[in-house]
Chains A and B, each alone.
Chain A
């Protein structure tokens, strides 16, 4: 451990550029899964809060399963199961795609509950006021409920994003080309696992910490009032 500074001095100019390049892949996975998770989450949150029993049940089942499974298991099922069940040409199904879908499915379940509590947190009076002005429930949801709910859910969504960033490391376990995977190659190629993994930890930290501070700032601003 005391040798770390000298190890870094020797290798870092080789490691860092490559690792930072794979950071972009990590950020790309994070970004695309985030969008997918928000879309899925919003859809199931609306199902969960709708007045149709069937939609509610479908949402509950989806959320319970996707939240109850470890992310690794979801990734493995998403990436390995379809090509095995339906034989054919699967070359287009990259690890990136598998990673994004897997993370999106898991994230969708988490965000569905976040959005739901945001929607339910609003005072019943808001919906009533909208309805008494002649809005249909759909319009009330679109112009009055959701805009306010989005503001409330910003901190939990921020926290989810930070978790998502860290979870991209799990995609290395299905072979996705991102930071963790590259770290493993370098670590064993140069026989310096401790140095490399500590460096990679620092890189993840450098990416997540600013987000953390951002979320905390948002939470502070929201509790004081707009």
Chain B
């Protein structure tokens, strides 16, 4: 049967089977994003601290996690940790792996955002009599957040696409369901194209939002 014939006959059934994996995709995305947002901030603050003792581990962490593939990192956590006693579930390994990877990238976004605003604004705030902490809270961070929103949104899109690799450690998300379905029905073309469309339905709207944020940031600057 041709592509369109299969699509017509089994399309809805395939869609239903594939979407069974969607909750796992979304869950891994949300959890690793949360992990990366929090841990990334922590790493960024270490990176920005005036003490070498704190900066060096942060820099090492960032360089290493950005310099190695996310897939390897997830594998190390899932297959490697049992060696020392921890047996993570596939989902846990995926979230921690993608989260650690993401934190490395996010920390650089945080750092760029804060440094971009830092100098003159801080000086102006201090000369007005604010404490550094007040300046940070009312002047620096609000501006930094607005600067960071577009790259953070772009990062989120990348993270969502990265969840497609975690089937390799056994998480039953979209790709995993797709492969199962193909094993059963041998309809690789229709199934994988459908998976692609499902991903596009998520990433393209996100990209639009990111573009709008970028435009409003430029207008504001």
Report A's interface with B, CB cutoff 8 A.
1, 3, 64-65, 67-74, 76-77, 80-82, 84-85, 162, 166-167, 169-170, 172-173, 180, 183-184, 187, 192-194, 197-198, 200-201, 204-205, 208-209, 212
User: What residue in chain B is nearest A165 (Cβ atoms)?
Assistant: B69
Q: Which of chain A's residues have a CB closer than 8 A to the CB of B70?
A: 166
Distance to closest chain A CB from B116 (angstroms): 15
Can you list 10 A-B pairs, Cβ within 8 angstroms, ordered by A?
A1-B84, A65-B200, A69-B199, A73-B164, A80-B188, A81-B189, A170-B69, A173-B168, A194-B76, A209-B63
A194, B68: Cβ atoms under 8 Å?
Answer: no
Distance to closest chain A CB from B21 (angstroms): 13
Q: Which of B58-72 contact A (CB under 8 A)?
A: 63-64, 66-72
Which of B73, B165, B189 contacts A72 (CB under 8 A)? B165
Q: Which of chain B's residues have a CB closer than 8 A to the CB of A172?
A: 71
Q: Which of B166-221 contact A (CB under 8 A)?
A: 168, 175, 178, 182, 186-189, 192-193, 195-196, 199-200, 203-204, 207
Counted as pairs of residues, one from A and one from B, with CB atoms less than 8 Å apart, the total is 124
Q: Which of chain B's residues have a CB closer than 8 A to the CB of A170?
A: 69, 71, 165
Q: Which of chain B's residues have a CB closer than 8 A to the CB of A173?
A: 71, 165, 168
Distance to closest chain B CB from A181 (angstroms): 11
Q: Which of chain A's residues have a CB closer than 8 A to the CB of B51?
A: none
B75, A68: Cβ atoms under 8 Å?
Answer: no
B162, A70: Cβ atoms under 8 Å?
Answer: yes
Query: B79 in the interface, Cβ–Cβ < 8 Å?
Result: yes
CA distance A56 to B72 in the complex (A): 38
CA distance A204 to B70 in the complex (A): 11
Which of B84, B175, B192, B204 contacts A68 (CB under 8 A)? B204
User: What residue in chain B is nearest A191 (Cβ atoms)?
Assistant: B83
Distance to closest chain B CB from A60 (angstroms): 11
Q: Which of chain A's residues have a CB closer than 8 A to the CB of B84?
A: 1, 194
Query: B145 in the interface, Cβ–Cβ < 8 Å?
Result: no
Closest CB pairs A-B (n = 7) = A194-B80, A70-B164, A193-B79, A169-B69, A70-B161, A68-B203, A80-B188
Query: B13 in the interface, Cβ–Cβ < 8 Å?
Result: no
CA distance A65 to B198 in the complex (A): 12
User: What residue in chain A is nearest B163 (Cβ atoms)?
Assistant: A70
Q: Which of chain A's residues have a CB closer than 8 A to the CB of B189?
A: 77, 80-82, 84-85
Report B's interface with A, CB cutoff 8 A.
2-3, 63-64, 66-73, 75-76, 79-81, 83-84, 157, 161-165, 168, 175, 178, 182, 186-189, 192-193, 195-196, 199-200, 203-204, 207
Known: A77-B192, A194-B76. 17 other contacts (CB 8 A): A1-B83, A64-B204, A68-B157, A68-B204, A69-B161, A70-B199, A71-B164, A73-B164, A77-B193, A80-B182, A84-B189, A170-B71, A173-B168, A192-B83, A194-B79, A194-B81, A204-B69
Which of A67, A77, A167, A187 contacts B69 (CB under 8 A)? A167
Q: Which of chain B's residues have a CB closer than 8 A to the CB of A184?
A: 75
B76, A169: Cβ atoms under 8 Å?
Answer: no
CA distance A187 to B72 in the complex (A): 12
Q: Which of chain A's residues have a CB closer than 8 A to the CB of B71?
A: 169-170, 172-173, 180
User: What residue in chain A is nearest B162 (Cβ atoms)?
Assistant: A70
A68, B207: Cβ atoms under 8 Å?
Answer: yes
CA distance A84 to B6 in the complex (A): 12
B75, A76: Cβ atoms under 8 Å?
Answer: no
Distance to closest chain A CB from B32 (angstroms): 14
Given A170-B165, A197-B75, A201-B72; A73-B204 close (CB under 8 Å): no
A197, B195: Cβ atoms under 8 Å?
Answer: no
B79, A212: Cβ atoms under 8 Å?
Answer: no
CA distance A23 to B162 in the complex (A): 23
B199, A208: Cβ atoms under 8 Å?
Answer: no
Distance to closest chain B CB from A67 (angstroms): 8
Distance to closest chain A CB from B67 (angstroms): 4
B67, A73: Cβ atoms under 8 Å?
Answer: no
